[in-house]
Structure 1
Amino acid sequence: MRRLFLIILVVAGLALGGPWWRSPISETDLSEKLVLTRLDIPEGKIGPARFIGAWELESPDTRFGGYSALIRLDDGCFLAGSDRGSILRFSPPGTAGCRVRFGRFAQSNEFDKRLSDLESLTRDPESGRIWAGYEFTNAIVRYEPDLERFEDVYPAEMRDWADNGGPESILRLSDGRFIVISEVDAGWTENSTPGLLYPSDPVDGAQPMAFRFHRPDEFRPVDMAQLPDARVLVLMRKVIWGLPPGFASRLLVADPADIREGGEWRGEQLLEISGAVPPENYEGLSVEPLPDGSVRIWLISDDNTSQFQRSLLLQLEWNPREKARG
């Protein structure tokens, strides 16, 4: 009974964000210091991919933590977005030249103050524009490359999406279409979640086609990235309830050509994070094409600014010509 009571407290803390769950609040620190420490984990195979390394990100800056989205910029720098509406710009491990920068996405007096729970990012490499998906308000915001100018939209098709499971994943495809997927169904019992396929930029008023995304074994979609062959990698995450809670993560491969109006979009399992790789709350995904046709896959974890989790960065490599496991 006591264990059940403690688990209920953990669930309540995750749902309500109670102070007992989060790290103690410290004095404001705007030092913009960031340290990446490589974890002592040997390289090895994870399914058809190769695990290259894992790094823990640490910073005394009070804006640090809670990263739920990750994209790569033209200069090779990473841009991570947090569920508190903040950003972190930093260099990938083993590289230099990117000044560490903490900040926030632009806001104005008219900007909805609830727009802080950023869950997804995607980018157009030609224009440099960035789109962000926000939960609770179920909004899509388009930022100019300077991240200071923006336009937003609150799609009617997303109005009834779960407050805590709105546009968890958003992806601009190379052909200009957009895919948006909710993390959960509003009823919390379905084995699929709602998705939208836009023929063009939703901020410009494009009308979407609705579909469902299949989520196997109670895993939830939390991010997407496109592969060079036009298929899509989907990052899936499941909470393993315990004291403290744990997490399981998978990567699926899905083809946008299979999306049908009113149909169910499915992917094939590529791999599951397991073995010596820390099973953290991975929510951000970025894909980097390599000259030999393979891709470098980056995952970043959301520490929920809690005392029990870490901000980790994983690096994997995979050749998309290798068949994903069903």
Structure 2
Amino acid sequence: MRPNRRLFLIGGGATAAAAVFAERTFARPRAAAATTSIEVTAKPIDHLSSTDPGRSRFGNLLFRGGLDLRSPDSRFGGFSALWRSPDGARIVSVADNAQWLTARVKTSDGRLSGLTEAKLAPLLHEDGRPLGRTGYYDTESLAIDNGVAYVGIERKHAIMRFGWGTSGMAARGSLVTLPETIRGEIKNLPNNRSLEAIGVAPSRSPLAGAVVTIAERSGGLEEPTRGFIVTGPRTGAFSVRRSYGYDISDLAFLPSGEMLLLERQFSIFEGFRIRIRRVAADAIKPDAIVDGAVIFESDSSHQIDNMEGLAVHQEAGETVLTLISDDNFSRFQRTLLLEFALVA
């Protein structure tokens, strides 16, 4: 979440005192100095709707359960992206203070029940320094494919690759060279609304193996935002239509090559809302204007927060979507892990 929205959470930031309070309240803690095991407790979320607890289907999604996650470690939180292993057993997340989270997922009777073996660690620059001590500290998006982790970084408008398969959290990041044709446009994205979503196109996509990233909001309130095909033979820029004030929060590819877009909005009166759109595989190409059908949209009765991360995996013949929220290291928000099955 962005600083201006943080001010809304305490009444709009109408005075200088409120602004100072907001910055102090939502200050990011420094990432762990080294790999650190932490305790994480989980309160089950058995129903998504607080007014209709028996309801399980929402649009094209079936709610499978969720967790309200907490830790006594003050560095736990701020999770802005999510990856889940193909077997669903492990998660990896990055927080927006350049910190990794890894954990094993516990289930009971087919529902999420907790996290074990949770660890925090700093993301490392190629020179061995924690990214939090460099200009590349604002880590916002994550994709892991074929043993390589790609992390999108705001403010610097950069992508780093990490040898996750060989080194895990000890991997050192190196900058991905941006194609000349799109480098200038990426570097001129808004300072605090840039590379919020990233993914690697699967083998069945026309862009198979390409890294794709989308800016949170590159223009005005209702203007399309820009997306970029960063690697592969079909590099270039495209636009993503926006509406109703939703900003891009994350993306994830389905095995079919279709792309899911996680979007969010915030208002003083309604709080957080999210929606998910489904984009055809062949729609993502240079110079295209991309849109997609809404398959899920939350309402005020739903147990959500600032949902920023989206992961997809296959489980027992089902396509499972997992979402994580960024609590901005605030006691007024929650770290939620929500799980859905795609039913259509």
TM-score, structure 1 as length reference: 0.83
Q: Which amino acid aligns with 1:86?
A: Q
Deviation at 1:17, TM superposition (A): 5.8
Contact 1:123 1:129 in 2 (8 A): yes
Query: Residue in 1 aligned with 2:299?
Result: 274
Q: Which one of the candidate residues 56, 63, 73 is aligned to 2:85?
A: 73
Give the counterpart letter for 1:117 in structure 2.
D
Q: Displacement of 1:272 after TM fit?
A: 0.8
Quick one: distance in 2 between partners of 1:17 and 1:207?
A: 43
Cα deviation, 1:162-218, whole Å, max 9, x if unaligned, reads: 111111111111121121100011x43442101112342xxxxx7831111111211
Give the CA RMSD over aligned residues: 3.1
SS of residue paired to 1:257? helix
Deviation at 1:22, TM superposition (A): 5.3
- In structure 1, the partner of 2:160 is 141
CA contact (8 A) 1:31 1:60 kept: no
- Structure 1 residue 160 displacement after superposition: 0.3
Aligned partner (choices 274, 281, 300) of residue 256 of structure 1: 281
CA contact (8 A) 1:89 1:98 kept: no
**Which residue in the other structure is 1:106 paired with?**
124
Aligned partner (choices 146, 150, 170) of residue 173 of structure 2: 150
Q: Indicate which of 225, 232, 236 corresponds to 1:193.
A: 225
Alpha-carbon deviation of 1:255? 1.7
Note the alpha carbon deviations across 1:73-95, whole angstroms, 9 max, x for none.
35621001100011111122417
Partner of 1:203: none
Amino acid in structure 2 at the alignment position of 1:119: E
> Which amino acid is 1:230 matched to?
G
Give CA-to-partner distance per residue, 1:47-90, whole Å, 9 cap, x none.
Answer: 12111112111011132100000001356210011000111111
Structure 1 residue 122 corresponds to structure 2 residue 143: yes
Give the aligned partner of residue 312 of structure 1: 336
Moved more, 72-81 or 8-17: 8-17
* Structure 2 residue 96 is matched with structure 1 residue 83: yes
Distance 2:58 2:98 in 1: 32
Would you say 1:229 and 2:256 are equivalent positions?
A: yes
More divergent stretch after superposition (165-174 vs 98-107): 98-107
1:55 paired with 2:67, answer yes
Structure 2: gaps of 5 or more residues? 1-7, 48-52, 109-113, 203-207
Contact 1:285 1:298 in 2 (8 A): yes
Tell me, yes or no, if the aligned pair for 2:77 and 2:328 is still in contact at 8 Å: yes
Q: Which residue of 2 aligns with 1:8?
A: 13
| Residue 45 of structure 1, CA deviation | 1.1
- 1:124-179 Cα distance to aligned partner (Å, 9 max, x none): 1xx31100000000110000012423311363231001111111111111121121
Counterpart Cα distance in 2 of 1:12 and 1:160: 32
> Residue type of the partner of 2:101?
L
Aligned pair in 2 of structure 1 residues 215, 113: CA closer, same or farther (>3 Å)? same
Note if contact 2:101-2:119 (Cα within 8 Å) is conserved in structure 1.
yes
User: Is 1:37 paired with 2:43?
Assistant: yes
Q: In structure 2, the residue corresponding to 1:216 is in which secondary structure?
A: coil
C-alpha separation between the residues in 2 aligned to 1:12 and 1:238? 26
Distance change (3 Å), C-alpha of 1:51 and 1:84: same
Instruction: Say whether the 8 Å CA contact 2:45–2:67 is kept in structure 1.
Output: yes
| Contact 1:13/1:21, CA 8 A, preserved across alignment | no
Distance 1:44 1:267 in 2: 23
| Alignment-mate amino acid for residue 179 of structure 1 | V
Residue by residue over 1:5-58, the C-alpha shift from the partner in whole angstroms, topping out at 9 and shown as x without a partner, is: 942349997899611445999xx9x66111121024246111121111121110
Contact 1:36 1:93 in 2 (8 A): no
Alignment partners' CA distance in 2, 1:13 and 1:144: 43
Tell me the secondary structure at the aligned position of residue 158 of structure 1: helix
Identity of aligned residues (%): 27
Q: Tell me which residue corresponds to 2:4.
A: none
Using the TM superposition, name which of 51-60 and 149-158 deviates more.
149-158
C-alpha separation in 2, matches of 1:17 and 1:154: 36
Q: CA offset at residue 98 of structure 1?
A: 5.5
In the alignment of these two chains, the number of paired residues is 304
Q: Is 1:241 paired with 2:241?
A: no
- Runs (5+) with no aligned partner, structure 1: 201-205
Distance 1:311 1:193 in 2: 27
Secondary structure in structure 1 of the residue aligned to 2:69: strand
Q: Residues 194, 52 of structure 1: CA spacing in aligned structure 2 closer, same or farther, 3 A cutoff?
A: same
